[in-house]
Structure 1
Amino acid sequence: IFQLTFGFILVSIIFFFCYSFNLQVFSYEDYSVKAENNRYLSKQINAQRGIIYDRSMNQLAFNSQQFELVCYVDAISQDIQGEAQVRDVARILGIPFDKLMEDINKEESEKLLVAKDIEKEKAIVLKTKERDLPAFELITKNTREYLDGNNFSHILGYVSGDTFDGESGVEKQYNDYLKEDPGILHIERDAVGRKIKEEIIEPAKSGNNLVLNIDFDLQKKTSEYLEEVVKTYKASGGAVVAINPQTGEILSLASSPSFDSNIFSKNLTTEQFNEIVASPDVSFYNRTIAGEYSLGSTIKPIIGVAALEEGIITPDTNIYCDEKIELSDGTTKSDWKFHGWTDLKKAIAESSNVFFYHLGGGYKDFVGLGIEKIEKYLNYFGLGSLTGIDLPGEKPGLIPNPQWKKELNGFPWYPGDTYNVSIGQGYIKSTPLQLTVAISAIVNGGKEK
């Protein structure tokens, strides 16, 4: 028996010696790195994204906070007080202890998200007990909220809930200017994970604030009225642009349907989010800058200016305007009514098609502008190209010409095409913003803004 006992003790001593030797010599570096990593922790210091204001310094975009609690799974098993910490957290959050403990034990990664969107009162309690809960960390997440998320959404846009980067509108256009620069906090901990000291390695820097030319009251009223008109006429959508023609400042930019920018700061499920965006009353399409539409009779003042500049007419020139004109191939181009003898003012006031058929394409002995000169003057007014507005997603519109049509479908340019362009019909397209800028040049006496 003595020999057996002595042999067992000897084998045990040799085993523990070899095990200790392995830990101290062969595995020293690995365990040293793990110990060092457990001792030091780097955390991000939150900073604030820049604030967005309207022209009267009404705050349009706000920063708020949401709270999440994570659990460092390994810290629970290594701390003799781990179970007590879990019990304390479960009590504060009002969740079953057994369920929380089960989730921690089943978690395969280093961290478990215990709860998100924690009420502020509970977050305060967790913060005050931070030293007693070293296995848990209360994380503060920045969120973005908007004063009137629906009426300003196509202007302001929104930020990503994950990256907090701008995804559309002003938030995207000026993302680098508005974006915050988080700081770095270095934390030293003891063997059981309690803080020994903290040191700011890099201070946080808030983003820059931004003041827009948009007028809050005008934008709100315009958006609400537009939505009412769209519903009244059962239209698929609509757009309104209000601009100061003397300065080029955009005071209102409304597009319907719209969306609520605030939905991106809410903790919605994928199903809830998809249900919202699938609604016919929700659209991320900004018609004011991306919708390309026929100009219709709004082009007529521009054609009139071109004809005056080219000396084709004078302000007193009268043209006899019947209800239609007959083309050489036997087809006709109609007007909406008989106008009789008409000068430029009357033609614009009564929206005479026949008058502008003469100015654009000519008729019989009257020599018109022709498509090349029409294109030149439309370009002068900024049509067919980007305005350069500081919003993402702007479209250039389209000024058609013979070469463009040939490349499109292989057909030649007919006189009827020129007549169509002369009254804003056919292939020509413009965005509501482009048209507003073009007409502003007439209102302000020809100044380019």
Structure 2
Amino acid sequence: MSVTSFPAEAEQVLQPAQLYRAVKKSGQKRRLVSLALFGPLLAFVLVFFIFPILSFMALAFHNDEVRTGFPLTSQAIQSWNGIGTPSEQVFEALTQDLRDSSKPEAVSIAAARLNFDVIGFRSLILSTASGLRQAADAMSKPAQEESVPDGFSIFGNATAEDSSQAAAGLGTPKQQLISIDPRWEETRYWAALKRGTWAVTPLYILAAVDLRTADDGSIEWASPDRQIYLTLIGRTFFVSAIVTLISIALGFPVARFISTQPPSRANLFMFLVLVPLWTSILVRTTAWVVLLQGEGLLNDIIVKLGLSATRLPLIHNRFGVYVAMVHICLPFMVLPLYSVMKSVPTSYTRAAASLGAAPLRVFFKVYLPLVFPGVAAGALLVFIMGLGFYVTPALVGGPRDQMLSYFIAAAISRDLNWGMAAALSIILVVIVIVTLIVLRRFSSTAFTR
């Protein structure tokens, strides 16, 4: 009996290096496909979200106004050691910059920038520029012949040449500037002018925390009349924290009640919770203005029930801010609480109660640790929203109730100070980041013992 033999095909065995290259090539293809799908969204976020925010925040360190308005002075003052007054060359450069009529807008912007560093600098620059122009006009007028004896003057025995020089402000550039305004002899103005020529400035960031750069380059506290931002930051943090605590106190029982209802009722109650989100914040805040004003509905009810003989001030104060902000933020507290509470089995609390635990012990030792992620998520949402409130405090709050966002908007629209607005925005972002870090650390350690 013959046995038929078939030629055995040689099996190809990949070496480790070949296998590694094959796996790597396959992984690269998957990454390219993923990048092709994710790339458009990433590009959109970078171009229309990340880049504009970073560009705006960079304005907090932007410092080219003085170099643009006073180019000659910016170069000449670099050799000044910061003691006394600069050399004659610096005075001459400043005189030429102020006499240059081709860039009045740039000089005005530079003066406003320097005035933010030293109050009164803008008026100093503008009055000096006006004085130099008047002196130049006096020099350009042709000398008129007068039939008076040589040396005669109503001010005394002075020559005609001396009188014309005094009228035209002749002399060295230093003498001209000081004769127009004696403040040019003060070191602090020249020190501020030199700080304005730095490529990057810490002026706005320091001002946002009530600090300033001294004439010798050290950091010191700002003058008492300009120390407003630390109080403002503390007020913003405090109001947001109070609104968060009130939202937890009101939202927790509401979410607990809805989570214990049948699905049909729970959907109805959640619908009622979400209805205010369909209306803009401006409309809801305006509604509270109508309700809380002196002749509003709430005061009418209080007077008719005899709770107060006079109408209460419920608006344009901190109470009105709390009421309106809690009303706006409450749904954002109820939603995460409800989603977490709905997933907690009731058997846990029943088991703890059956083992003899008191109701408070069951709540703090069993139920609260289980729903704490929802509390943390809601508190984070409400607190971050509270930090950025602008419209609500502006409408229902008083002058002492405005928050950080109001001053950011005022710096842009009223003062045209984009650098200060960017610095305050950076402070606001830092507060949010610190809050995230602290809350994450607290969430990881809470209820672990």
Q: TM-score when scaled to structure 2?
A: 0.24
Of Structure 1 and Structure 2, the greater helix share is in 2
